[in-house]
Amino acid sequence: MSAQVELTDRTELSLRAHWGESGTPSFGGYRTVSIRLDHHFRFGHRLSVEARSNRFADTPFSTAPWTEVPSYRVSYTVPVGLPVVQERSTGAVTGRVVDAETGPALLTH
C-alpha cells in the first residue's frame, strides 16, 4: 500500500507500507512502514529524507514477539551530465582523476 502527496511543485511526501507472512516455524513474518520526503531544487539537485520501521515476528533467538529495526537515510543527488551516444562499434574509455590541490593523478584507467 502506498500514498504520495505533492506538497509543493518541487516537494513530495510519500508513505509506504507492506507486510508478509511466512509459513516456516522459525520466521512468522514482517511489517515495513516508511515515510519519505523528496525536494527537487531548481538547479536539478534532489534532497531525500526517509525513515523506515521494519518489524519482524518470531525471529530466531528473540524473546519478544516482534523485533523492530528502524533505519534512517538522507541522500543528496547531483545529476551528472555525461554525453552518451549510441555507437555500433566497440570502443574504450580512458581517463584519470587528479587531485586539484596537489596535482598527482589519483586514478588512471
In this structure, what C-alpha cell is assigned to residue 18? 507492506
Mean pLDDT over 1-19 rounds to 93
User: Residue 75: its pLDDT value, please?
Assistant: 95
pLDDT tens track for 22-54 = 665 555 677 888 999 999 999 999 999 999 988
Name residues whose C-beta falls within 8 Å of residue 11's C-beta, 6 or more positions apart in sequence.
37, 38, 39, 40
Neighbour tally for 32: CB within 10 Å: 16
pTM: 0.58
User: Residue 68: its pLDDT value, please?
Assistant: 75
pLDDT tens track for 91-107 = 777 777 777 777 776 66
Q: Where are the domains of the chain?
A: 2-80
101 compared with 11, residue with greater pLDDT? 11
- The answer to whether residues 11 and 37 touch, using CB atoms and an 8 Å cutoff, is yes
pLDDT tens track for 72-94 = 999 999 988 787 777 677 777 77
